[in-house]
Structure 1
Amino acid sequence: MHTKNILQAGNTSNATKALIMLHGRGGSAQDILSLADLLQVEDFLLLAPQATNSTWYPHSFMAEIDSNQPYLDSALALVGDTVQEALAKGIQEEHIYFLGFSQGACLTLEYVTRHAKRYGGAIAFTGGLIGDQIYQNNYSGNFYDTPVFIGSSDPDFHVPVSRVHESTQILESMGAQVTEKIYPGMPHTIVQDEIDQANLVLGGG
């Protein structure tokens, strides 16, 4: 289970926008916060929760959901706590943005799709919705044209392109404006074009 440990950076006093940043497996909140140097978030409150033992859930995101419990539910709850921190500072939901890499990208997509509403935007660097299959009943709400960027490589050792496509279809069916980009032969990393796409999302709300 995850201990509540949420790092804050950026504009911590009077921000009107917030970016919630979710690190990958084996990473840290500090690691993902360093990405802010490449992003157009000068006036944003930055919030980065830390996964206990640096892992949001133990197995592949495409394993049976029960095999990743109770860690997955705990991780989703921690993201919810992070959203509440932004709201407590007076930041409206439509000005809350989400960003994640790899395992954090999967968690990002899973959280926002389970709680679809008009957000500022969501950015998933190599990820997809979680589960051995898509469980449509887990998802509810309407994104009301929330901009979403999903980038991934082909092939990727961790994230099959088919799951990226399925995830895009689900989000679009729920009203998201999704930009999906597949990068042939890209390593399991973040490339400059993805940063450029992320900045388009961050600048749009």
Structure 2
Amino acid sequence: MHQKNIHYAGRTLTEATRALILLHGRGGTAGDILSLAPLLHVQDFALLAPQAMQNTWYPYSFLTPPADNEPWLSSALGIVGSVIEDITMAGIATENIYFTGFSQGACLTLEFITRHAQRWGGVAAFTGGLIGDKLYTENYRGDFAGTPVFIGTSDPDPHVPVTRVQASEAVLRERHAQVTLKVYPNMGHTISRDELEQANTLIFKM
């Protein structure tokens, strides 16, 4: 089970009008994902990066049955929800809350926002898809009301099949997210400069 261990950067919650939640990948750290901040147009944001226990949000592939990843998956989703509560308690509206994540963190990001679809500020998911051995659409509720979402991924990727990314895109579109999916041939399991530029153009607008 995860403990609430949040790393902060950027503006404080009391002085910021926008907040960004950053979710690291398997084996990564909050510090790793926060190192993206100088490359994104988030200078006036409060930045909040939770740290997963033992550097992983859930133990198995995101493509295994969700029950196999419990109780870690539910605990991870709960940590994200708790961070959002902190942000809104500070007076920042949900439409000014943004998300970004890489790999396992991108999967967790997409799973959380689709379970709680509403007008968020925007989402940049670097190599991820909705979680499960299949899409459990009964878990997804709400309406994104035009929330901009950028998803970038490699074809092929050793951990995230493009077919799952495309299926996830369809679910988000059905709930009225404004999704931009960009598939990069043979990019590898990484975050490219073009993905960061896409995120800045589509999500983190100055």
Counterpart contact for 1:41–1:202, Cα < 8 Å: no
* Equivalent residue number for residue 76 of structure 1: 77
> Between the two proteins, what is the percent identity of the paired residues?
60
Using the size of structure 2 for normalisation, the TM-score is 0.98
Q: Partner of 2:36: helix, strand, or coil?
A: helix
Counterpart contact for 2:40–2:204, Cα < 8 Å: no
In the aligned structure 2, how far is the partner of 1:201 from the partner of 1:73? 30
* Equivalent residue number for residue 95 of structure 2: 94
* Equivalent residue number for residue 2 of structure 1: 2
In the aligned structure 2, how far is the partner of 1:95 from the partner of 1:204? 12
Post-superposition Cα deviations, 1:131-186, rounded to whole Å, max 9, x if no partner, equal: 00000000000000000000000000000000000000000000100000000000
Q: Counterpart of 1:172 in structure 2: which amino acid? A: R
Structure 1 residue 146 and structure 2 residue 152: aligned?
Answer: no
In the aligned structure 1, how far is the partner of 2:205 from the partner of 2:109? 19
Structure 1 residue 16 and structure 2 residue 43: aligned?
Answer: no
Post-superposition Cα deviations, 1:76-129, rounded to whole Å, max 9, x if no partner, equal: 000001111111211100000000000000000000000000000011100000
Q: Partner of 1:149: helix, strand, or coil?
A: strand
Using the size of structure 1 for normalisation, the TM-score is 0.98
1:7 is displaced (CA, Å) by 1.1
* Equivalent residue number for residue 32 of structure 1: 33
1:204 is displaced (CA, Å) by 4.1
Q: Counterpart of 2:8 in structure 1: which amino acid? A: Q
What CA RMSD, in Å, does the superposition of the two structures yield over aligned residues? 0.9
Q: Partner of 1:144: helix, strand, or coil?
A: coil
Q: Partner of 1:19: helix, strand, or coil?
A: strand
1:56 is displaced (CA, Å) by 0.1
Alignment of 1:1-205 (within 5 A): 1-12=1-12, 13-204=14-205
The runs of at least 4 consecutive aligned structure 1 residues that moved more than 6 Å come to none
In the aligned structure 1, how far is the partner of 2:91 from the partner of 2:28? 29
- Give 5+ residue unaligned stretches, structure 2: none
- Give 5+ residue unaligned stretches, structure 1: none
In the aligned structure 1, how far is the partner of 2:201 from the partner of 2:79? 27
Q: Counterpart of 2:21 in structure 1: which amino acid? A: I
